[in-house]
Copies of this chain bind each other. A is one copy, B any other.
């Protein structure tokens, strides 16, 4: 397809596509005349990933380029490409160095991943960006005096491990190779707000279940009276 068609099918303006081409986020098309190039399905797929990263995930263009370089690294196996691509994503503030609270957070993170080890929290992750993101998040909890004990953290880790199994099952429906690695990166980014929104909704639901005045609770089952309008 030509650029105009690629723009129509991707919903990305021709100017933005040209910008992505210049910035190396999109491989060049196959040149057919001096001024025209032909684009294929892989360009369409790559554009989706770029939009997921840049437009939805807010990943800076330079960072997105690194992610894509890892996706395309034919010298790595699937695990290596996936890992490198996710490591290249932004991970929030780095943990502070040489700080006793960070040292404690590091210890807590190491205990946690050791305890989750049974579910396969891999080696070599201890110095990666997701691990540093965890240390940074735990340091914030500790610094502010909020609960950060292993028993608080373990359920989070166990549920994350289950989500990972589910997510990789979804990803395996994509064709092995670039398409699969691209989908994995896009879904890592795009499901994060889904997860956070569902957690906030679930909090509201659980708070309602526990604390709402009875007339504000939705009917619990066929025998309960219809919920009243009082207190709304």
- In the docked arrangement, what's the CA distance between A162 and B162, Å? 12
A73-84 contact mask (Cβ, 8 Å, vs B): 1 or 0? 000011100110
Q: Please give the distance in Å from A145's CB to the nearest CB on chain B.
A: 6
Q: How far apart are A56's CB and chain B's nearest CB, in angstroms?
A: 5
Interface residue stretch chosen among A21-29, A64-72, A204-212: A204-212
Residue A203, interface by CB 8 Å: yes
Q: Select one of B113, B164, B186, B216 contacting A79, CB under 8 A.
A: B216
The reply to whether the CB of A213 lies closer than 8 angstroms to some CB of chain B is yes
Indicate if A100 sits at the interface (CB-CB under 8 A). no
Other than A137-B194, A140-B190, give 17 A-B pairs with Cβ distance below 8 A: A52-B140, A77-B211, A79-B211, A79-B216, A82-B207, A83-B204, A113-B201, A120-B209, A122-B209, A123-B218, A130-B200, A137-B197, A153-B194, A159-B159, A161-B202, A164-B202, A184-B203
For residue A121, which residues in chain B have a CB less than 8 angstroms away from its CB? 201-202, 204-205
Residue in B156, B161, B168, B205 whose CB lies within 8 Å of A120:
B205
> A193 and B92: CB pair below 8 A?
yes
- Cross-chain contact B156 with A198 (CB below 8 angstroms): yes
The 12 listed contacts between A and B (C-beta, < 8 Å) are: A51-B144, A79-B208, A79-B213, A79-B216, A116-B205, A121-B204, A125-B204, A134-B197, A140-B190, A159-B163, A184-B203, A195-B195
Binary B-proximity of A165-197 (CB < 8 A = 1, otherwise 0): 111101001000000000110111011111111
* Chain A residues at the B interface, C-beta cutoff of 8 Å: 11, 48, 51-52, 56, 77-79, 82-83, 86, 89, 91-92, 113, 116, 119-125, 128, 130-131, 133-134, 136-138, 140-141, 143-147, 152-153, 155-157, 159-168, 170, 173, 183-184, 186-188, 190-213, 216, 218, 227, 232
Query: In the complex, which residues of chain B have a beta carbon less than 8 angstroms from the beta carbon of A195?
Result: 156, 160, 195-196, 199
Contacts of A190 in B (CB 8 A): 137, 140-141, 144, 146
The answer for the CA separation of A196 and B153 in the assembled complex, in Å, is: 13
Q: Are B199 and A160 in contact (CB under 8 A)?
A: yes
Residue of B nearest to A193 (CB): B137
